[in-house]
Amino acid sequence: MKTWLITGCSSGFGQRLALAAAQRGDQVIATARNVDTIEEMADPFGGRMITLPFDVTDAAAAKFVVAKAVEVFGDFDVLVNNAGYGLYGAIEEGTPEEYRPMFEVNVFGMIEATKASLPILRRSGGTIVNMSSGAGIAGGGGGGYYNAAKFAVEGISEALAGELKPFGIRVLIVEPGPFRTDFLGRSITIAANEMPEYAASSRRHYRENNNGSQAGDPDKAIAVILRAVDADDAPLHLPLGPVAHSIAERKLASFRSDIDAWREITIATNFDQP
């Protein structure tokens, strides 16, 4: 039996993962910024699931949630950094009032939750699951701020994997493509400033054209995440769905092409040997 601490459980993958873990007999600390939205979720599971308020941008709240988890369950061995949202709009269109809060949640909130949890996880090892996205694999026009936030998640996660390996702590970066959750409904914001110059690369209508029709089955995605957390040979990167895999394959091919095309020129940059 595992004990999970999961952020962002009011909807989407966070909620589904909390329910799936509890349904299989694990213990779960499910959190959300507004705990009222998730309190009833714990009712069917008795004491195996508790719900707590957690604004991930509040470092003091992170310490409180971890302390409460230890008080109730004695320990936890899986941290899932799931809280986050997206911002669509060209880089020139975005304002600090729009993009800074997104980084606070997606990046700095993940850092605070992780730092607060590490003293517990170092005791006996465990797993950190960081929810990235296909947007964290490759950037695309109209989604640059969200790309940047998820690129940060990827970089921090890769660094953590190296730092925490000696403690027996694994890191799993989950990179979903489009799945039929309510991410495109309640978890996407659009830059208010619309510039016609960027109409060709705009993602402003992506939500209305795709919300509710995504091909990905979120329950199948959750089953894969559970399997990876349980596995002894789980990868660091876990692209989910054919779209995420296509993004990764295109990125690898493009990167390889760039490296090969300029290899001889770019490696000849050391000081000349006497």
pTM score: 0.93
pLDDT of residue 203: 74
Residue pLDDT, tens place only, 24-68: 999 999 999 999 999 999 999 989 999 999 999 999 999 999 999
Whether residue 251 lies inside any domain: the answer is no
Helix, strand or coil, per DSSP, at residue 198: helix
Which pair of structure tokens corresponds to residue 199? 């109409």
3-state helix, strand, coil in the chain (%, to 5): 55, 15, 30
Which residues is 27 bridged to in the sheet?
3
Helix, strand or coil, per DSSP, at residue 88: strand
Residue among 42, 44, 136 nearest 52 (CA) = 42
Whether residue 17 lies inside any domain: the answer is yes
Helix, strand or coil, per DSSP, at residue 58: coil
pLDDT of residue 110: 98
Residue pLDDT, tens place only, 55-101: 999 999 999 999 999 999 999 999 999 999 999 999 999 999 999 99
Whether residue 98 lies inside any domain: the answer is yes
Whether residue 235 lies inside any domain: the answer is yes
| Mean pLDDT of all residues belonging to the chain | 93
Whether residue 264 lies inside any domain: the answer is no
CATH number at residue 130: 3.40.50.720
Q: What is the 3-state secondary structure (H, E, C) of 129-166?
A: EEECCHHHCCCCCCCHHHHHHHHHHHHHHHHHHHHHHH
Whether residue 164 lies inside any domain: the answer is yes
What is the rounded CA–CA span in Å between residue 236 and residue 252?
A: 16
Helix, strand or coil, per DSSP, at residue 78: strand
Whether residue 54 lies inside any domain: the answer is yes
Contact status, residue 25 vs residue 4, Cβ threshold 8 Å: no
Number of structural domains found in the chain: 1
Contact status, residue 34 vs residue 85, Cβ threshold 8 Å: no
Host domain of residue 182: 3-243
Residue pLDDT, tens place only, 170-221: 999 999 987 766 655 466 789 999 999 999 887 777 655 665 557 778 999 9
Whether residue 185 lies inside any domain: the answer is yes
Which residues belong to the active site? 132, 146, 150
